[in-house]
Amino acid sequence: MIHALKNLRNTLKLHHSELSAGHTHFPVFRNDSQKHSLELPPVGFAAALVRRFKAHPTDIFLSCAWRDPNLLETLCRQVYFPSEQVSLGSLTLLYGLLWEQGQYLFPENDPEFSNSEIRSWLGLCERNFCLGVESYEVLTSQSLENAQALTLGAMRALGLSRPFLCRTLLTAAANICVSLGYHRRSTLQGDRSLLAESKRHVFWLVYVLDKNIALNLGRASNLQDYDIDAELFEPSSDRKYRSYDLLCQAWIHFGRLEGKVYDLVYSVRALAIPSEERLVYTASLAQELAIWKEAKLDQIRQENPNHSEGLNSLVLATYPMYYSILALLYRGNTRSPAGSSLEVSDMCLEAARQSVVCHLKIIPQFLDCPGSQSTYVTWGLLYSSFTPFFVIFISVITSLNEEDLSLLKSLVDALQSLTIVSEGIKRLHSICHAFYQVAEVFLQSKQQVNQTPVVHLGDQSSQVLVADSNHPEAVLNLAPHDGLEFDLTDFSLESYGIPPMDTQWSQSLFDLIRLDGLDVNNISGNAS
């Protein structure tokens, strides 16, 4: 047991040391010179990418409602053949689109360009894009291109499991959108159709991302529904693209529900109301979520069952997201201003199990599809709340449920198969594996000692108290000189010197067990 706990402690410390220095910046570039280079990839490379993009726009581009098919080509003309000064926002947006689209449109052993050329030019675009979105001009100047670049940057931060950076960029993008009036219907009425639609697209994409990240970090969102009357963008009349727009609109409605979960269950105001009243809100929100799933998500699958692989991965990724938010909603019933308890309701546990089961059914479908696999990792695992894993972890250590332990093991194994996709998944797997080991050893120790409440390991100073079925209040506690204290009835990640979200396992590893001293303004227990 000591070995498993020390492994967990060391794993947490490792990730904390890796992330503490620059978790609000793009990590690859934080040591580079901040001087922004205007170097561009060769025009032939950009032209080839534009041709491929126009023939086969990528799923990630379409799913984010970047509906203007000429956006990339227009930016290339403005930057490579300028008739007037090009803004840093336009240049940054071009770098971002070239890098993001190039990953999908230039395969290994490309017939036009060597692998080294592709890596070099895409690396240049990525570096300059990341430097651009962190620049003062892009963060503060009010323009459509800046809002688009910041939104693309937020999605990049999401893929890197950098929630605080993602939140920072989204806050800047939201401020630009509000300052320019994109949240108001009247502001866009005088714009030509394509321009108005572009503004609606970027506003609603910021809205969707902001609602999710805000809930995951335990904060109020930047964009409040009572102050928004902007119309949704029109779904494409082209059947090939229509499903992408419908999915994006479904995410917008889902974002509204995520905002309600925070406002009615987790906010300071919500925690101050009687628990009976919160239960009423919980039941109402659970019903709204169920209606959303049936009316929006299920309908998209039924209308066109033969989706492209990329769209299919996005649709499937939304199902575990639905169940994870449902688990988070029910988990809120056990919270109070003083924290949360080890109590897990049957509905919360069932929703958590359904979310994990969804992952286990879906992940094998994408093991041989690198592009779709990456999409699912970002939107199904790193974007989605991972609260279900920890709800099931609680079930194992409090109820000694072997089936739930097996479920955790299956998910850890599934994550192992995805570790080549990104650093974020590697972190997610290593942390979840460490927690699984603790649950496994704890369950085994209780089975071994049976009715023996105390096990002596060496002398009294290294005594371990193992709870048995007749003493649920017992705790597991290592001696101070071991450098590790672990209390399963009062477990706080902060006791290991690391806030939950800073681990970057996923976007919402909060409300794990009891977090004494938790700031009720911060569900995750993160430092502000």
- Cα dihedral sign for 473, 478, 480, 486? negative
In a domain, 353, yes or no: yes
Q: Which two tokens stand for residue 513?
A: 């067990």
- Is residue 219 situated within a structural domain? yes
Q: Is residue 374 part of a domain?
A: yes
Q: Which pTM does this prediction carry?
A: 0.82
Residue 174 predicted with pLDDT over 90: yes
The residue-averaged pLDDT of 100-111 equals: 85
Name the β-bridge partners of 455. 464
The answer to whether position 279 is within a domain reads yes
Of the candidates 154, 50, 38, the residue with the CA atom closest to the CA atom of residue 106: 50
Please check whether residue 25 is in contact with residue 134, taking contact to mean a CB–CB distance below 8 angstroms.
yes
Tell me, yes or no, whether 455 lies in a domain: no
Q: Are 315 and 258 in contact (CB under 8 A)?
A: no
User: How many folded domains does the chain comprise?
Assistant: 1
pLDDT tens profile 243-266: 888 889 999 999 999 999 999 998
pLDDT in the model for residue 255: 96
Range of the domain at 184: 29-419
pLDDT band at 409 (very low <50, low <70, confident <90, very high): very high
DSSP code for 469 = T
- 495 in any annotated domain: no
Average pLDDT over residues 33-58: 82
pLDDT in tens, 183-205: 999 998 888 888 898 899 999 99
Mean of pLDDT over the chain: 78
- The average pLDDT across 1-9 equals 59
pLDDT-derived band at 11 (thresholds 50, 70, 90) equals low
pLDDT at site 512 = 33
Q: Note the pLDDT tens digit of each residue in 106-154.
A: 888 888 999 999 999 999 999 999 999 999 999 999 999 999 999 999 9
pLDDT at 457 exceeding the cut of 50: no
Whether 280 is covered by a domain: the verdict is yes
The residue written with tokens 């449920």 in the block is 401
What integer is the mean pLDDT of 391-404?
88
